[in-house]
Amino acid sequence: MTRHCRLPLLSACAMLASTALIALPAAASAASPKVLLVTRGEAGEGPPAVQGEAAHVSNSITWPALNAGCGGTDEQATVGKNPSGTVKVSGSGQPVSSQCFNESPFEFVPGGITVKSVSVSKAGVVKLTGDLELVLGECTYSAKKLAGTQVFGEDFTEKLSGTGKLAGHSAKTCAKTTPVEDFIGVADASGFDYVVKLTS
């Protein structure tokens, strides 16, 4: 038997209808896309990366205005919750073995790489936090945050950019800021770059 709303029950029916309308956005948000890191080997794509598994974050850094660069890999990184709205790979938070150099004339110079985390959001925003340092003569620069854009369906290898700031103990003649770029690669313990996908 079908129930119909009588005049005395109109307010109750209106409340039920409004409750149903309010519930719709909640159902839509439940289907919000998530970022998924997929492992890859010689045979192709494998299973999703597991939370807590070992990962590597490689860094190929250039300081274009200074004609200098650095390279190094954090081999003590770990994968966070996967999939997630923003998947984070935590670095060791410690300086890694690295080499920095001045290209003209070529010579090795002091510097360092420390990775705290690399993350990629469902909007495709990639962020690296840590400390990238370079010392050229009396000028010492440090970059704490870099950002870039991930293309879904491709390897977790992206060019990030940011700004290096002058350390307080540097000479007054040094530029206060300088651009810095880092071509990163985020891989599993075997060295295969993760594939970044968007999944519901």
Note whether residue 44 is domain-resident: yes
Could you say which DSSP state residue 176 is in? S
In the block, which residue shows the tokens 């985020």?
186
Whole-structure pTM value: 0.81
For the chain, what is the domain count?
1
Residue 138 lies in a domain: yes
Write down the pLDDT at residue 19.
Answer: 45
Residue carrying the six token digits 């994968």: 79
Render the burial of 19-38: b for 16+ CB within 10 Å, e for the rest: eeeeeeeeeeeeeeebbbbb
Domain that holds residue 186: 34-199
Please give the C-alpha separations between residue 164 and each of 113, 133, 179, in angstroms, as whole numbers. 13, 8, 6
List, for residues 70-115, the tens digit of each pLDDT value: 999 999 999 999 999 999 999 999 999 999 999 988 999 999 999 9
Residue 29 lies in a domain: no
Minimal CA–CA distance to 89: which of 191, 195, 174, 187? 187
Is 113 inside any structural domain? yes
| 65 in a structural domain | yes
Instruction: State residue 28's pLDDT score.
Output: 44
Contacts of 12 (CB under 8 A, 6+ apart): 5
pLDDT tens profile 2-20: 344 433 433 444 444 444 4
Residue 11 lies in a domain: no
